[in-house]
Structure 1
């Protein structure tokens, strides 16, 4: 059976099944359009017309008894979700493929008898290097890169949520990333290293690459979640005869597990780039991630017309900051509730953006801040997981490696995750759900 065709909103490209995304009432030259004229205008202005996604199952919502007794399963992800995972794979491959070389490039000097591109003589125990600025400088610059790569996404997310939308933000970030990769390759050219110009070009490339990552990273996962075809719980009978509930949360969880797996698969490119620096030089080590990175614009162009693109609806981060400001000044969360503001303040004294949230948002924000205490363990985790990388590389450089790159050890984290994610996603988690074992907080 053919799915019904739906119009895509002419401004945003998002599905407009309920006519809620298009402006209402529509106007043309400041003149309101009739219903018939509005439909004609939407049809002419739509960027594409495509079949609506079919909801899995027989369409019947579960009863309370079924919710309590039946197993939750995930629906099937559309092919567009896998293309988005490919985008993340390529972006993360370029990120980790380059950043894994930073320690040696900055810390170690050009090896004696090498080829001038940073590679040591074959058969020697020397380590690849270029700038020779020492451990402290290497740690400082790589920490700067990590800091920027994890803080710029806050601003990238706000930009996507308030102005550009997720797809445009990803696209602009991708274009910026191309510049960063070109600069890193230039920094690895033997002549640039020999003339002492590599440090400036390298730092520029490092900062630009972090900025590109900050625009891409916060939008890819939400864009993936937007593609989920399951929007409510529905009953489905499996070929085995078991009746289950197709659940939106389980569907997105499964999609995100594949997404996370793609991230760590991309991180494995660092194994290849460490051998590139060891055997050929840094120019090749930086070039290979740049080539993989070019999959990002190709994949985005391939999937663009099939994506569900939702319009910017405002930033929760900005709303949370505004609510927090009111709560601090008034020393009360209730003071930030729109109902309280309208009852206690005159119109001219009311906050400018208070109508962008509702009373429920205040309670949700309080709950979120309380739950954030769970993330305090990440501080300890990152000290162990990332804080020791420079020391680990430095120690490995002093050991007998017999041709193995000293920066190879840090890849075991990604290898472990790649092995475990399919086991957890396809074995452990479904088994736990089958026996109604829930580890939610």
Structure 2
């Protein structure tokens, strides 16, 4: 039995990901452009893997990055880009004997529910092919799906549509599903009699209709099915993804003062009772625990913030930063590869890199750890309940003991023992300005 409930036949998903993204005006393959920090192809794979028995990804030549992302699934290369039908034919040896569904890497937001509906619709009595369609507010250049008595009769491209047909906003989303035996036959009947001399998968619909086969248009939302072929369409999709991520977070108990100004990543983990103020950006690989406040204009990536901590405003947490319970990271503070202990405070104008800070230690304004000597990175270790005065420079590698105090304006180049007052600055000298 297939993964999808009530589907008896083996189900194979073929994802066409050979597009170079010419209209994206980018050297990056279209499938690798990110939404909320995750490549488009990965979105589709995450859902397809849960529904289909087998996944095949068709890529172009020299797309090693796409192939790596598609692993461990079967990958085939379309050496000559001769259209979408030609791309689908490259995967033909892996269609199996059940049903095959053709999907597109630039339609990354198709949900698991819709994928399951496709397979279940194809199993209905009398349905020979399922075509995904969407009601578009603005159809733009999408082909119009023309139906009669509940069955698809043809797809009309915008350039060829009559005024009456243009008023029909049911548009072709390109996704097809059929039994393998029939689909193989239709695929080989497609011709390339067009200006680009390419083989278009959409022509399989016309071939099937000519045979008298029944094609069902399965509807889903435009948000799910819209293609992404340009940077402006990528931005629209990003907006859709962000709305979903924010809603999911708020449904799970996160407070967002102005959600439309908060940007999350696909893998962001926010526990309940987190409060996020306006204009916060959270990059990949971030976990924020319960009771944390993230104040305005803060940027987090690759970090963990533990229960009850306060971040910002205007704070930056970079990869490998771990903020302890009830710790404070204030305005214009940047932490990289730094562990901040429970209840520690770094409230103003500070950079800490490759640093460990003990519990309840206070770092004064303007403190800097000099962790890079031009060749290697070095570590600074600051003990518990220490006090680092304002404008201190700690030249790594260096260790400050528990309960030690560093005088403001010091440059510390040697270790400081526990419970010690350290000065690392020139002695002040006052001279009379009028003295000769």
Q: Looking at CA atoms only, which structure, 1 or 2, has the larger radius of gyration?
A: 2
Q: Same fold (TM over 0.5)?
A: no
Structure in which a larger fraction of residues adopt helix: 1
Scaled by the length of structure 1, the TM-score of the pair is 0.19
Scaled by the length of structure 2, the TM-score of the pair is 0.19
